[in-house]
Amino acid sequence: MTLTAPAPRTGEAAHHLGRPPLVLLAPAVLAAVLLVLPLVTLVLDTPWGTFLTELRSEPVRRALALSALTSLLTVLVCVVLGTPLAWLLARVEFRGRGLLRAAVAVPLVLPPVVAGVALVTALGRNGLVGSLLRETTGLTVPFTTTAVVVAHVFVSMPFYVLSVEGALRTAGERYDVVAATLGATRWTTFRRVTLPLALPGLVAGAVLAWARSLGEFGATITFAGNFPGTTQTMPSLIYTTLQADPAAARTLSMILLVVSVGVLAGLRHRWLRPL
Amino acid sequence: MTGQQIHQETGLHADVTVEGRLHATLHAEPGRVVAVIGPNGAGKSTLLGALAGTVRATGRVEVAGRDWSDLPVRERRLGVVFQDRSLLPHLRARDDVAFGLRARGVPRREADRRALGWLERLGVGDLADRRPAQLSGGQAQRVAIARALAGEPDLLLLDEPFAGLDVGVATGLRIELARHLAAYAGIALLVTHDALDALTLADEVLVLDEGRVVQTGTPREVAARPRSEHVARLVGLNVVREGDELRSFAPSAVAVSPRARSGHDAPATSARHRWAGRVAAVAPHGDAVRLLVSTEDGPELIADVTPASAVELGLEPGAEVWLSVKATAVQTDSMRP
């Protein structure tokens, strides 16, 4: 291990290094304004008088419950399926590993509506897997709550897998070797060494996946539709309300903002130091 | 060589090759401690890795009558003390030591009891509930040794166990380790850079150089008749290589005289036993003054002179000197094993 001088607290050095140059300061301020201003105006424009009434209304309660249910299920699926995939990418050498990693990352850059269309071709009534499923079991996926979760998993999983893979790589294979010399099987090593060491990465990945799921709109509305009670999540409800009653839409947006910021703040203290 | 059959009942019998890095044959009886020494990059850690199975190797490894050649790492009954300790960062010392026992099917309570026993034997029983970040280097190394021994391995591999420890801590630990190694029934391999480790801890010494075994023997034999420059240096001898011959002599046997530019004032000894050179460094060495001399035709030699003659002869860095040694003080060995 190498010794390094303790890093000076951010800002301390700035005192000695002179003023920040305008050429960096100006765009930085502009960026901050761009990010913060719309949130401030949203808060200002929200009709707070009707906030609680709106919150208790039937469609909002149903959409909120569905958003909570689907986003939690999404995180669950990501953890159960995504953790092993991340482990495979980080720890096992096989042909096409680079290709698989690239494929996993594609949904990150895919427009959500395209993701929805792609899901229809796979799981739609006449899709490759969807038609097979319908013929053999009579079940169809689109326009069900299941479809919402599938769409959310599709767009959220890459965040989770890449975050966990990064954590596994950082933790390194060194302790896996130690565990093997102590007689542990790979499964024991995974449970008792690899996973505990990568836990912060798992939690960060889960939060990212959850946030992505909560805000998901394009893929959901394309693949699952917008039916109150079964597929209408908060973003879909906001979109519908916006056309009829923009003021109510602002209230709903505020609700979503409060929920997501609240959860992030709750987790931040314990798990999300870097965020 | 790899086709050679090995059919012994006990001990370690290995003939391993790691492509481009190591080819080594070694044998050791149970209860023996073998020090593995050699310069950096000689293949010491690679050898341990090949025996542990963490480095891909061809050939055969047989331990205590079992063929390890194709066994995965976890099925080899071994204990490893890693150079950087490699304690599991998230585990308390007791859980770390119990980890191997649990992995091999010992029930939790029993594993915990045995782990505590080992920590107490290594003198760190009171630190059982600490995590690695809360342990000093010496304490962590004791936990690491307890962990390696707890599994009662047939083969114990120690990779520079005193590296990075304070001299005082290392000395105390060395004495204790000697005691534990004496009580240990299996075979221990100890990679070290320190001649003292080899002399105090080992029954046998195996010298590696450029991926090959260049010498084996008791520490005494190896120290007295080194067959590689590295070992000669390690035990403080001068060594001159001539073809396959290695001639070694003590720094105190070297006579030093000033040299004129003409070079016509050479000492009256055979050319094989004298060297023209320039003093590169001067440092006190016990009661004497030790000179490091770069000679014109190759080797760096060390010579011990009295402080009085160092002053009298003006032996400062840069001084031109003749070195000579009596033929009777030179020991000649063949490098061919």
Q: Tell whether A187 is within 8 A of chain B (Cβ).
A: no
- The C-alpha atoms of residue B280 and residue B300 are separated, in whole angstroms, by 9
Residue from the list A174, A175, A183 with its beta carbon closest to the beta carbon of B74: A183
- The C-alpha atoms of residue B221 and residue B208 are separated, in whole angstroms, by 16
Residue B79 has pLDDT above 80, yes or no: yes
Q: Tell whether B80 is within 8 A of chain A (Cβ).
A: yes
Helix axes A195-215, A58-77, angle to 10 degrees: 150
Residue B111 has pLDDT above 50, yes or no: yes
User: Under an 8 A CB cutoff, do A181 and B99 touch?
Assistant: no
Q: Tell whether B73 is within 8 A of chain A (Cβ).
A: yes
pLDDT greater at residue B200 or residue B34: B34
pLDDT band at residue B335 using 50, 70 and 90 as cut-offs = low
Q: What is the mean pLDDT of residues B279-301?
A: 85
Q: Tell me what pLDDT residue A187 has.
A: 95
Residue B252 has pLDDT above 70, yes or no: yes
Identify the closest residue of chain B to A174 by CA–CA distance: B86
B311: closest CA of chain A, how far (Å): 41
Residue from the list A1, A181, A196 with its beta carbon closest to the beta carbon of B78: A181
Question: B100 to chain A: which residues are within 8 Å by CB?
Answer: 182-184
pLDDT in tens, B125-174: 999 999 999 999 999 999 999 999 999 999 999 999 988 888 888 888 98
pLDDT in tens, B15-70: 999 998 999 999 999 999 999 998 888 899 999 999 999 999 999 999 998 999 99
Secondary structure (3-state) at B298 = coil
Q: Tell me what pLDDT residue A270 has.
A: 57
Chain-wide mean pLDDT for chain B? 87
pLDDT in tens, A144-160: 999 999 999 999 999 99
Question: A182 to chain B: which residues are within 8 Å by CB?
Answer: 74, 99-100, 103, 147, 151
Q: Token pair for residue B186?
A: 């299996």
Check residue B268 and report its DSSP letter: S
CA distances from B45 to B130, B147, B227 (A): 29, 20, 21
Residue from the list B73, B82, B88 with its beta carbon closest to the beta carbon of A180: B73
Residue A7 has pLDDT above 80, yes or no: no
Q: What is the mean pLDDT of residues B226-252?
A: 79
First-to-last alpha carbon distance for chain B, in angstroms, is 16
Q: Tell me what pLDDT residue B171 has.
A: 86
| Interior/surface letters A86-125, b for 16+ CB within 10 angstroms, e for the rest | bbbbbbeeeeeeeeebeebeebeebebeebbbbbbeebbe
Half-sphere exposure of B30 (CA within 13 A, CB side): 15
Bridge-based pairing of strands B274-285 and B288-295 is antiparallel
Residue B325 has pLDDT above 70, yes or no: yes
pLDDT in tens, A175-205: 999 999 999 999 999 999 999 999 989 998 9
Q: Tell me what pLDDT residue A10 has.
A: 61
- The C-alpha atoms of residue A34 and residue A260 are separated, in whole angstroms, by 20
